[in-house]
Amino acid sequence: MSERRKFIKKSILGSAIFLPSVANAFKNSPKEILIGEKPLILSTWNHGLPANAAAISKYKETGSILDAMETGVMDTELDLSNLSVGLQGLPDREGITTLDASIMTGDGSCGSVAFVRQVKHPISLARVVMEKTPHVMIVGEGARQLAIAEGFPIEKEELSPNAKAAYEKWKINSKYKPIINIENHDTIGMIGIDSNGNLAGSCTTSGLAYKMHGRVGDSPIIGAGLYVDNEVGAATATGLGESIIKICGSFLIVELMRQGRTPQEACEEAVKRLISKNDNINDLQAGFLAINKDGEFGAYAVHPGFNFAKGTLSSNIMIDSKSHF
Ligand code: SD4
């Protein structure tokens, strides 16, 4: 570790309170190494703030970073103003809302569900897959059946008023050009480290608006939307799932950190890779968050506009991510 890194680490970790200059340092100097306190929780977009608050309060209650990751994103799954997470999310082109979610802990345990209908908390169903089945991923009707067997309430299949209005509008032209650009996104990816250095993460979404029925994005794909390894760190993704799956985005970031890159450098390298593998780059947005086992963190996106919430026991703030363009 360089003397400068050691110094930053010492001076920030030495202080129990959050230094506001960290947010500015991030804005002004993307290559800067950012040190977070432990526990530290990062989550994507503005809804990350209430999600972090829910996660932190759960962590204080149970001391479990896994519980925190589940409870945190459950808050977003219930947020009626969010059109990309939970049953109130925008539907596919048939008018049906289908959900994807994944959860993972640093020992390699993971679970996910995809293309699931009528389940309010797909993240909790993903946790059931991880903890109660010998499988990693269960999809579609099988996932719904698992939810029923586990006593999850099955919701009536109807669009929220906001989603219905948006879908009716879309149907007028019903152009099949599903995109996630700098305006339409909202998936929540959350990663966290506890005070002992154990990592976990969660990711949940209704996916791409007006997608083909059955389309699954990166969020429930372990290694694409989420990856966690206690030996190294954790990463999560948001944005156009197809572009993220192509580069195994979250796994790539964790492996780059394993090779010695900082979280920030690893996120930047993943964005570069994503840009090199996708030619529709002007039309797509994608962003990554990463934490390493020392509590250093990073974020980077293809286009401007990506932000994330950073929560500790004593603070919860939004930070603007740097971007390639
Ligand atoms: C997907 N990655 O299904 C998700 C969508 C997303 O912000 O992240 N939106 O492709």
Taking only the tens place, the pLDDT of each residue in 191-212 is 999 999 999 999 999 999 999 9
Average pLDDT, the chain: 89
Total count of domains within the chain: 2
In 3D, which of 21, 229, 1, 203 has the Cα closest to residue 109?
A: 229
pLDDT at position 54: 98
The residues annotated with a catalytic role in the active site are 187
- Give residue 207 CA to ligand 1 midpoint distance, Å: 5
Indicate if 105 and 250 belong to the same structural domain.
yes
User: Which candidate, 81, 21, 87, places its Cα nearest to that of 45?
Assistant: 81
Using CB distances shorter than 6 Å, the residues near ligand 1 are 84, 180, 185-187, 205, 207-208, 217-219, 238-241
Q: What is the Å distance from ligand 1's center to 140 Cα?
A: 18
Q: Is the dihedral of CA 121, 126, 131, 135 positive or negative?
A: positive
Q: Kindly state whether residues 15 and 113 are assigned to the same domain.
A: no
pLDDT band at 186 (very low <50, low <70, confident <90, very high): confident
> Among the atoms of ligand 1, which is closest to the Cα of residue 206?
3
Q: How many whole angstroms from 244 Cα to the centroid of ligand 1? A: 9
Indicate whether 9 and 148 sit together in one domain. no
> Position of tokens 């640093």?
106
Task: Give the CATH number of the domain where residue 171 resides.
Answer: 3.60.20.30
User: Is there a single domain that holds both residue 7 and residue 46?
Assistant: no
Please state the rounded mean pLDDT for residues 127-156: 98
Reduced DSSP (H G I as helix, E B as strand, rest coil) percent helix, strand, coil of the chain, to 5: 35, 25, 40
> Considering the entire predicted model, what is its pTM?
0.89
The mean pLDDT value for 230-246 works out to 97
What pLDDT shows up at residue 35?
Answer: 63
115 shares its domain with 73: yes
Instruction: Report the pLDDT averaged over residues 21-28.
Output: 38
Residue 179 confidence (pLDDT) = 66
Distance 14 CA to ligand 1 centre (A): 37
Instruction: Measure Cα distances from 79 to 48, 75, 92 in Å.
Output: 11, 7, 19
DSSP assignments along 72-88, one per residue: HHHHHHT-TT-SSSSTT
Domain that holds residue 19: 1-30
- Closest atom of ligand 1 relative to the 189 alpha carbon: 8
Dist. CA 93–CA 90, nearest whole Å: 9
Q: Which atom of ligand 1 is nearest to the CA of 241?
A: 10
Q: Kindly report, residue by residue over 74-121, the tens digit of the pLDDT.
A: 999 999 888 899 999 999 999 999 999 999 999 999 999 999 999 999
